[in-house]
Amino acid sequence: MYKYELHMHTKEGSACGVDTVHDMIKKYKSLGYTGMVVTNHFYCGNTSVDRKLPWKDFVMEYARAYYEGQKTAKELDFDLLFGIEQGYGGGREILIYGVEPEFIAERPFLIEENLELWSKEIRQAGGFVAYAHPFRNRNYIKDPNEVPDLKYVDGVEVHNYCNQPEDNEKAQRIFGNSGTILIAGSDMHGVNFENANGVLLKTRVKTTAELAKILFSGDFELAIGE
């Protein structure tokens, strides 16, 4: 089985990121991970990218960690994939898999904080949309107890390593029998950790599109705190 991180940040794209993509690759590799998805905070989140940039320039700068990390990833035989964490209001966020930066760059209307719009565009392209860390209780989240509307997503991150245990337990309890796809991620922002979450795949994936197909199939296992 091959272990992949589905939710993590780097300082190149997230204002709250602590370490570089190169440092994060080395850390995850040392812990036995085969790959990771860079899900830095996008336009409607805690991004470190200048929002005054023209849209295409903004997206390419946002994707800098993904592009610049490829050399380190190749040297370490590590799979580095592109993803997005995007806010959609009230401090709530979604995770996006299955599309490349160029797809986002050609859609300037995605500047909107609009869950329905993002869901439609990503799904039409074969991408996978997941709710990030449901029920997280933080001061920037307007209503942490709000139950997300599953019609706009394909999965739910029911195990987030940086959530409180009770948050994850509630997510598992509420969404465990909902018929939606359950995923796990760590939400790490720096290299100061020794355990993390992720998914276990039967085959390696080289693109985020390949990852999305496997997530849709449900043919994977969750790696919790490993």
What residues in the chain have per-residue pLDDT under 50?
Answer: none
pLDDT of residue 102: 98
pTM recorded for the entire structure: 0.96
pLDDT of residue 144: 84
pLDDT of residue 154: 97
Give CA 175 to chain center in angstroms: 19
Mean pLDDT, all residues of the chain: 95
pLDDT of residue 213: 98
pLDDT of residue 194: 95
pLDDT of residue 226: 63
pLDDT of residue 91: 87
For residues 208 and 37, the answer to whether their CB atoms sit within 8 Å is yes
Amino acid at residue number 178: S
3-state secondary structure the chain: CEEEEEEECCCCCECCCCCCHHHHHHHHHHCCCCEEEECCECCCCCECCCCCCCHHHHHHHHCHHHHHCHHHHHHCCCEEEECEEEEEECCEEEEEECCCHHHHHCCHHHHCCCHHHHHHHHHHCCCEEEECCCCCCCCCCCCCCCCCCHHHCCEEEEEECCCCHHHHHHHHHHHCCCCCEEEEECCECCCCCCCCCEEEECCCCCCHHHHHHHHHHCCCEEECCC
Please give the class, per CATH, of domain 2-223: alpha beta
Q: Is the CA virtual torsion 89, 92, 96, 101 positive or negative?
A: positive
Sorted by where each begins, the domain ranges of the chain are 2-223
